[in-house]
Amino acid sequence: MKINDVILQTVTKAVSFIILTFSVFLFFAGHNNPGGGFIGGLMTASGLVLLYLAYDIETMKSVIPIDYKKLAAVGLFLAVATGIGSFLFKVPFLSHTFAYKYLPILGKTELATVLIFDLGVYFTVIGVTMTIILTIGEDE
């Protein structure tokens, strides 16, 4: 029996856009509102899992050729590197700072180095979640 997934796949195309955009929003909102690297990463991972559910693993591997184990490693490296980077300015490990900058579209924006640490958390959460789910999914 041929399975016709056209409704699921069409809706997934639209909905995964919403989920991934909202996860990026949550990631950037984390400083002053509910959100942050962990929940943003989980939401990105859930959007990716929805794509993996609607299409098969081989198609997704050709569309997103990312090794999620390496993504987790990059995330850990970013988190540690922001900690070590504070030694360059002769301050204790994991000291963070912030500055106000004028960006072209956004106007006056608070840029904090915590964001880089959060990016590390974000990558690690995506990497670990997707590695767990894909390892279970590929088991024969």
Partner 1 sequence: MNINEITSWIVSFLILVGSLLSLLSAFGILRLPDVYTRSHAATKAATLGVICILSGAFLYFWVFQGYVSARLLLGILFVFVTAPVAGHLICRAAYRSKVPLWEKSVQDDLKKVLTKEDYQHQAEN
Return residues touching partner 1 (CB under 8 A).
1-2, 7-8, 11, 14-15, 18, 22
How near is the Cβ of 23 to partner 1 at its closest, in Å? 12
Which has the closest alpha carbon to 117: 69, 81, 93? 81
How near is the Cβ of 136 to partner 1 at its closest, in Å? 20
Cβ proximity to partner 1, 13 vs 61, nearer residue = 13
Cβ proximity to partner 1, 2 vs 90, nearer residue = 2
Pair 48, 40: CB distance under 8 Å:
no
Q: Which tokens sit at 6? A: 């056209």
Cβ proximity to partner 1, 9 vs 109, nearer residue = 9
Provide the 3-class DSSP secondary structure of residue 30.
coil
How near is the Cβ of 108 to partner 1 at its closest, in Å? 21
Cβ proximity to partner 1, 2 vs 108, nearer residue = 2
How near is the Cβ of 11 to partner 1 at its closest, in Å? 5
| Sign of the CA dihedral running 21, 25, 28, 34 | negative
94: left (phi over 0), alpha (psi -120 to 50) or beta: left
